[in-house]
Amino acid sequence: MIQKSLRILTHILVAIGMASLIGIVLVIVVNVIARKVFNSPILWSLEMCSILVVWSTYILFGVDYQENKHFRISVITMLLPKKALEILEIIVNFILFLAVIILAVSTWNAIQMNGRMILTAMPIPLMLAFYLPFTIGVISHFLYLVVRIYATFAKSLSATGAPKETTV
């Protein structure tokens, strides 16, 4: 059930990320046409592209982790024995867990200070333009982390022969 929910969440986030990237292309194309053909550039195009870059980047923050697409130095991990690699994965996931919590707290503080500000060229609150996608990305990353950490510990418990939980 959890895996299915995460797959649905992943599809939704990827769709939003793709829509943001398509939006960037469309805004740039429309602005070029407006500037070259009608000699009237769209004043808000740069700001809109900035917003869409933030949306496409941060919305996919957790998806990249879930699909193992974050930056890794595989030369080092290829040299490690299987047990050391499992321990390293637990350590890395724990560090990422702490980092995501710190990001969440920092985001909350930034929202408290700047969330009501309005962008210059477009009457959009900073909260919607920048903090919402970041918050969604942090929450999804946190969810993917919790599920992976749980799966790692459940796998290690079953490998050690610890008694499994039974359902009544």
Global pTM reads 0.77
pLDDT of residue 55: 93
pLDDT in tens, 91-139: 888 898 898 899 889 888 888 888 789 988 888 888 888 889 988 998 9
pLDDT of residue 168: 44
What is d(CA 3, CA 10) in angstroms, rounded to the nearest whole number? 10
Q: How many CB atoms lie within 10 A of CB 17?
A: 22
**Token pair for residue 30?**
């429309």
Bridge partners of residue 125, in order along the sequence: 118
What is d(CA 149, CA 6) in angstroms, rounded to the nearest whole number? 14
pLDDT of residue 161: 60
Q: Is 86 exposed, middle or buried (0-12, 13-18, 19+ CB in 10 A)?
A: middle
What is d(CA 84, CA 82) in angstroms, rounded to the nearest whole number? 6
Residue environment code for 32-41, b if the CB has 16+ CB neighbours within 10 A, otherwise e: eeeeeeeeee
Domain boundaries, the chain: 2-159
pLDDT of residue 115: 79
What is d(CA 138, CA 99) in angstroms, rounded to the nearest whole number? 10
pLDDT of residue 28: 96
